[in-house]
Structure formats: structure tokens, C-alpha cells
Chains A and B, each alone.
Chain A
Amino acid sequence: MEHTSLLERILRGIALTLVVVFFMFPIVWILMMSFQTNETILRIPPQLVFKPTLANYTALITGKLTTAAGTLDIAFMRNLWNSVFLSVTSVAVALLLGVPAAYAFARHKFRGSEDIAFTLLSFRFAPALLVLLPLTLYFQKLGLANTYIGLIWVYQLICLPLILWIVRGYFEDIPADIEYAYRIAGHSWFATFRKIALPLAGPGIAAAGLLAFIFAWNNFIFALVLASADKQPVTVGALAFITSSGIQYGQISAAIVLSITPTLALALYAQRYLVEGLSLGAVKG
């Protein structure tokens, strides 16, 4: 069984290549488009060989978009900054609230704890559009519409349930005996939480944080409705490339490349850390 023939190895290679091509194609294609002008992109048939140009990136970074109809101001860099700020802050707030809550749900089975936990999760089930209409009205009354605080608050609908449920699972996986042992050694419950539970659930917290970050980063609908141009993240900002003189495929591609780069980098970095952290298994014999 362990001896694989040459044919087997070749077939396996081909199968793997097909899978990789299938999954990587859109990303590679977008990357290629980001280095082309709209004219070369729209050429029929499409061509793999082209003269690369940095014009799209220049336009994004300088904020000046030259189209057939004239020069447009675009706020892409501003949008990118908004995305970073909104996502990071939302995840930070969600971690601050969600991790202790997850610990409470994992360790203390109080009356109604399951119901509360489930209610929090159910926020993810509600169609965003349904929530948005009343929310917009409330936010306008409260003066939260078009503020970072308001947006971060709404983003908790995305981040908090994710973090709560994932981290709770990790806390539950820590054998209670390990925490008991630390308590019995003479440490308070808070010290136990800090010194034992947090480090042991660390990989899980990181995974949850990362996932929440990606979801927050990719969110479109909340920001579309609740934020004006200067508070918009890239997802909404990309709409600006649909101009009166046509869709700016080159710039959109460049924008996508720039906007997925941070999440991609983060995921790649964290992947190694996650795998390593998950195999802590020295708990049992």
C-alpha cells in the first residue's frame, strides 16, 4: 500500500494541478487585470501576453482617476484606511467582550445560558437588509448614523457571535481539571483565566479573531446604508469605479488586489500559528 507507482504519482500530480488551477484562476486573473488598461482587458479574445502597466495602482494611490469623460476624484486610500480602522476596532471590541463571555458560557452553566448564547448566534441568521431599515431610523435619531462608533457597533453583529461561539468551543476543550489544578494550587479564578484559560485557548482566539476580521472586512451592506463617502470601507468604495463612462475594470482589479492583500497576508501568517497551536495536546497521557 505504501509503494506508489510512477503512474499513480503522475495522476495525483495532474489532479492536484487541476484543483489548484480551479481555485486560483480568479485570483490570478484579477492580478493580471490589475496590470492592464481597460482597453487590453476588454480585448476579444482575451490575451495572456500584455504590456504591464502600473497606471491603475497610481490612480488609486494618487486618488486621480482619468477616464474618457475627464478626471475623477476617488477616495480609495481613504476607503482602505476606513476598512482597516473599522475591521480592527470591531474585532478588538468583539474580542474584549466576546472572550470573557465565551469563558462564562463555557465554564458556568447558569440558568438560561444556552438560550442567551443561542440568541447571540441567531443575530447571524437575520437577513441584514431586514435589520437595516429600523436600524437606520434608530441610528439617525441617536445621531449614530455615519459615525465610526455606529458602524463598529453594527459590526458587532458580525464579529461577536463568531468570536463567542468559536472561542467558547476552545474553552470547553480545555479539561476542567487543568483549571481546577491551578485554583487548588492557590490562584484566584481571574488568575486562572489569565494564566491558564487564555494561553491555552490562544490559538482559538486568534482563529476566531481572524475569521471575524475577514467577515468585517468583506462586509458591504451595513456600510453601504449607514456610512457616507468619508466613512466607507473599500467594499463600498469600489462602487465608485462604475463610472458614467463605463466600468473601470483595471482599477477595480487593482483595488481588489490592494484590499485582499492584508487579509491574505494575515491568513497566511496565522495559518502556521494556528496549526502549531492546536497541537498543544500534552493534556492527557
Chain B
Amino acid sequence: MASLELRNVVKRYKSQTVLDNLSLSVADGETLVLFGPSGAGKTVLLRLVAGVIDPDEGKIFIGGEDMTDLDAEFRGVGMAFQNFALFPHMTAFDNIATPLQAKRSSQGAMKAGVESVAKLLKIGHVLSHKPRALSNGQKQRTALARALVGSPPVLLLDDPLRNVDAKLRFEMRLELPRLLADRGATVVYVTQDYKEAMALGDRIAVMSQGVIKQLGTPEQIYREPANIEIARLFGDPTINLLDVKPSRDAKGIYVGLSNVQVHLTGAYDATVGRDCVIGLRPEALRFVDEGTPAAIPVTVEAETPLNEKIVTLVRTVRGREILVSRPAGTPGQTEGRANIAVDGKSALLFDRASGDRIGSKNVVNLRSGEAA
């Protein structure tokens, strides 16, 4: 068990700054997800923690101890790599056993350790195979087993599900939380898949260009994204973004969408007359009957089912495109004219110039336990 802390870490490659004065702390037993596009610096951060590369500035603490100058083999972390990084000339058993070997475990302890973690990951039957004889899913599980086997207090998982197919990824995503919880390890998990990030992270750090842009629980990131960029990264289908200029009337602040006034709930007083962007999650929109107050008339362009949802692309009278999503099997409009209603409570408002979200305190906060 150990907490992890990075303090003002800087890493440069030649003239390029990959990590820019980054500080981050992960509590003991917490799973922190590093999420961001490739090139954001996520992998570099993991490697710094692992000790295989050194920071140019800053300190790294594991369990309160300064590890900055310690070589990788003395840090006692476990790591799984995106490309698995299995040793091609060793069997799966020997691959998994390498951390135990380094600890000079006895033959018996090694066998027991490898076999128990292999059983947990369901690869007990392929332990005698070399990596090239393993399927992709088995390789990925072997790599994970190698990271877990020594029960390291800190686990670094570098996009471990990226190179396996959708089905295995889904299966593993559901299996991982228990595996990690059983170990009680502090986990840093890197991914580019927002679903993995939301599913696995106690907290998510959204990274971009070597900087953490937002750090928060999945709820905070999804419901209160710091800016447009982050709002677009989370959610499938992507959030609808429409240019608006809020106004005020007797009932409060509203925005005009296709000549319909949609009133917003929240302290948006300062936004009147400003160039803004409204963000509407596709699942927060719904089809309504004609004549419903504040219903926006639209034309249905195409219906594209997505897993257990139906995603509908509609066009407003002003030609703007909006995506509407609803659970499969619920009523909706499949073609022709339709009306949609906007839930003013869940709408997000961003400043158009800076892209930052406006009114951080006023969005529905669901951290306390009620259903959405």
C-alpha cells in the first residue's frame, strides 16, 4: 500500500516540453485514470513513476518516500504496457515469474505465485506457451499477470486494453475493478477510451499537451467539464455544441434555439449578450409531441442505432445538426418532421472565445447518490 505523488515534474525532449510543471497525487488504494489524446504525455508520466526515465525537474514520491533518484528495479512498482512487452524468448510462466525471480523467491513460492495469478486471469492452461503461441487476449492477460504477481503497492497500467478486440476489452473492463480492488494497490491507468476512463477511475485526470486540464470524479468530468474540449472527449455520441447568445426575460436567462426560447437553470446572469456555446448531451434531448412548450421543430435526417441506444441525426429549421440519443425500444421519431425538447437543467454553457465552461457551481451535481 502506498500513495503516489508527483511534485512539479518537468520533462523535456530536446526543445519540446512533454510534461510541464505537473503535480499530481494519488491516494493509497485509489485508481486514477490518465485520459487524453496521444502525445498528451500520459505514457511519459507513467515511465517517470516507473523510473525508466528521469524527470528534468521535480520529485516523485511513493509511499511518502522520495524515489526520484532511485533506479526502476528498486521502486517496487508493477507495470503493464500497451504493446504487452512480453519477453518473446520466455514462456508465459517465465514471463510472469520475472518479478518473483528478482525477489529471489523459492521455486515453490514462485510456482504458487504464478499459478494463483494465472488462475485469476484465466490463463492457467497456456503457461507453458511462448508469447508467439498466445492469442492477443492471452498476451494481454499474461502482461497483466506479470504486473500483478509481485503484489506491487503501485500499479501502472499503460492502455493495457488498447490492442485487444472490442469483446475482450469489454470483458476485461468488467473484470479489472475486482482484480485491482483485491490487490488494494494504488493504480495509475492510462487510456484513450473515455468509457474505460469512466468505468475504472475513482478520479480521472484529463491531460493535454503535458498539462492536466481537469482532475475529478467521472461525474464531475462528465457533468461539469472544464471546457468544450473536455466535453467533446467524453460521451458517445459527442455532445451537441451550438452557438448561442443568452438573453433575459421575466422568467430568467434563456437562449434561442430555432426561435424557441429555452430557459436555463443556473446563475448565468453574466452571460447575457455574450457569445456562448451551449452544450447539449444527446441523451438529455428527447422527442416530444408537437405543441409541447419550448419544443424545437426539426427534420429527422438519419437514424443510426448505437449498441442499446438509438442515435438520431436531426436538423433544425436553421440548418444546424443535432444528435439525439434514446434507449432502444423507447418511442421516437424515425423520419420526417419531429419536435425535440431540451432539458435546461443539464445544458452546459461555454464561453465561445475561451472555450471554458461558465458557472461551474450550478450544474446538477450527482455525487451524493441520487439516480440521474
Contact = CB atoms under 8 A, between A and B. Distances in A.
Contacts of A200: 88-89
Contact of B73 (A178, A187, A196, A282): A187
B131 A282 contact: yes
B150 A186 contact: yes
Given A183-B73, A280-B89, A175 B132 contact: no
A185 B102 contact: yes
Interface in B334-353: none
A178 B85 contact: yes
Q: How large is the interface on B (under 10, 10 to 19, 20 to 34, 35 or more residues)?
A: 35 or more
B93 interface: no
Interface string A55-78: 000000000000000000000000
B167 interface: no
Contacts of A281: 88, 132
Interface residues of A, number: 23
Interface string B224-260: 0000000000000000000000000000000000000
B61 to A, nearest CB: 18
A175 B85 contact: yes
B47 A175 contact: no
A280 B130 CA distance: 10
A186 B102 contact: yes
Interface string A144-186: 0000000000000000000000000000000111101111111
B76 interface: yes
Contact of A180 (B72, B130, B134): B72
B72 A183 contact: yes
B281 interface: no
A184 B77 contact: yes
Interface in A178-211: 178, 180-189, 196, 199-200
A285 B85 CA distance: 10
A165 to B, nearest CB: 24
A130 interface: no
**7 shortest interchain CB distances as A-B pairs:** A186-B102, A282-B132, A177-B85, A282-B131, A282-B88, A183-B72, A185-B99
Given A178-B86, A200-B89, A284-B84, 5 more contacts: A181-B85, A181-B87, A183-B72, A186-B98, A281-B132
Interface of A: 175-178, 180-189, 196, 199-200, 280-285
29 contacts: A177-B81, A177-B85, A178-B86, A180-B52, A180-B79, A180-B81, A181-B87, A181-B146, A182-B98, A183-B51, A183-B71, A183-B72, A184-B51, A184-B72, A184-B75, A185-B73, A186-B76, A186-B98, A188-B73, A200-B88, A282-B86, A282-B130, A282-B132, A283-B83, A283-B88, A283-B131, A285-B83, A285-B139, A285-B163
